[in-house]
């Protein structure tokens, strides 16, 4: 062990790394040969810059010392070797499967494959949207009829103000109890069909025209007065915004198919 720390010895080993074939021995630890191929694989695993001789020599020293230490521990015989072998076998299986699918999915689910899927399934990335603003007077499920009536009266007051010609944003800021949209004059923005209360959805997608203001109507949230800012339109999501989702879907599908193929390629039989 002491000899491997000498600079002259390291220099000799480094020269061997250059001159030896991959299967030739560059050192021995307790009689066990260490090949150039084994050490090269170690350097690749550790991502060592092999052009840096000092760094390579340092890793060689560490590599040989750990080989010697592991062999000495193994010879002591104080550990359950069968358990260690089982752990190593499971780790190897996990690594093989993980590394294989990492490469397989990278090859199969390319940006080109994602673009092709997007183009072939255009309808999946289209949605019907409408742009609205609203005034909300909230109600609670356990409200009494008199309390609910008072809420409707307040909504009616807001609607009356609008009929006199006052700006929707102004009345929204005064009356609306939607703490998010009230900061924008009642504007909710674009909403997808089916993503909101059915009563609200039917009102804005089927019954109103652009610029129209509805009379107060009730949903599970309370009483609404809605202004239709833009009529329903079919909007397609840009590729950039859905690439991540498509990649996930394709990777999941490709992985499952390849996993089934690989398992089917191997016969499993139980010994009687």
Question: Any idea which residue has 């950039």 for tokens?
Answer: 240
Kind plus residue range of the DSSP H or E element containing 33? strand 32-35
Give the three-class secondary structure for 27.
strand
Q: Cα dihedral angle (40, 46, 48, 50), rounded to 10 degrees?
A: 0
Decide if pLDDT at 4 tops 50.
Answer: no
DSSP letters, 192-258, are ETTSS-HHHHHIIIII--TT-BPPPEE-SSEEEEEEEEEEEEEEEPPHHHHHHHHHHHHHHHHHHHH
pLDDT for 126: 86
Which tens digit of pLDDT belongs to each residue from 134-146? 999 999 989 999 9
pLDDT for 20: 66
119 Cβ contact partners less than 8 Å away, ≥ 6 residues apart: none
Decide if pLDDT at 46 tops 60.
Answer: yes
Which tens digit of pLDDT belongs to each residue from 67-114? 999 999 989 989 998 999 999 999 999 999 999 999 999 999 999 999
Q: State the DSSP code for 24.
A: S
Cross-strand pairs, 35: 25
Which tens digit of pLDDT belongs to each residue from 197-219? 999 999 999 999 999 999 999 99
Structure tokens belonging to residue 3: 């000899």
pLDDT for 194: 82
Decide if pLDDT at 23 tops 80.
Answer: no
- Residue range(s) in the chain whose domain bears CATH number 3.10.50.40: 127-235
For all residues of the chain together, what is the average pLDDT? 90
Give phi and psi for 9, each to the nearest 5: -65, -45
Write down the architecture of domain 127-235 according to CATH: Roll (3.10)
pLDDT for 123: 86
Q: What is the mean pLDDT of residues 44-68?
A: 92
Give the three-class secondary structure for 166.
coil
Decide if pLDDT at 166 tops 70.
Answer: yes
Interior angle at CA 232, CA 218 and CA 155, nearest 5: 25
The distance in angstroms from the start CA to the end CA of the chain is 50
Distance of CA 65 to the CA centre of its chain: 41
50/36 Cα distance (integer angstroms): 13
* Mode of pairing for the β-strands spanning 25-29 and 32-35: antiparallel
pTM of the predicted structure, to 2 decimals? 0.57
Which tens digit of pLDDT belongs to each residue from 214-233? 999 999 999 999 999 999 98
Which tens digit of pLDDT belongs to each residue from 177-192? 999 999 999 999 999 8
């Amino acid at each position: 062990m002491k000899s491997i720390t000498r600079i002259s010895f390291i220099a000799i080993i480094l020269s061997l790394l250059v001159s030896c074939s991959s299967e030739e021995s560059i050192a021995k630890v307790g009689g066990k040969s260490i090949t150039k191929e084994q050490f090269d694989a170690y350097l690749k695993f550790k991502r060592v810059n092999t052009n840096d001789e000092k760094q390579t020599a340092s890793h060689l020293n560490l590599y040989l010392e750990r080989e010697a230490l592991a062999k000495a521990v193994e010879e002591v015989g104080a550990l359950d070797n069968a358990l260690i072998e089982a752990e190593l076998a499971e780790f190897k299986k996990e690594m093989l499967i993980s590394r294989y699918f990492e490469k397989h999915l990278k090859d199969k689910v390319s940006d080109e494959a994602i673009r092709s899927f997007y183009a072939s399934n255009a309808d999946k990335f289209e949605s019907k949207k409408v742009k609205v603003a609203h005034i909300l007077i909230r109600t609670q499920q356990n409200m009494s009829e008199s309390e609910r009536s008072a809420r409707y009266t307040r909504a009616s007051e807001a609607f009356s103000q609008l009929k006199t010609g006052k700006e929707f944003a102004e009345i929204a800021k005064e009356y609306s109890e939607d703490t998010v949209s009230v900061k924008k004059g009642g504007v909710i923005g674009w909403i997808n069909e089916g993503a909101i209360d059915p009563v609200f959805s039917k009102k804005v997608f089927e019954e109103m025209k652009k610029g129209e203001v509805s009379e107060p109507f009730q949903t599970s949230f309370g009483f609404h007065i809605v202004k239709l800012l833009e009529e329903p339109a079919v909007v397609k999501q840009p590729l950039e915004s859905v690439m991540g989702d498509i990649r996930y879907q394709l990777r999941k599908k490709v992985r499952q198919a390849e996993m089934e193929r690989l398992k089917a390629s191997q016969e499993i039989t139980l010994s009687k």
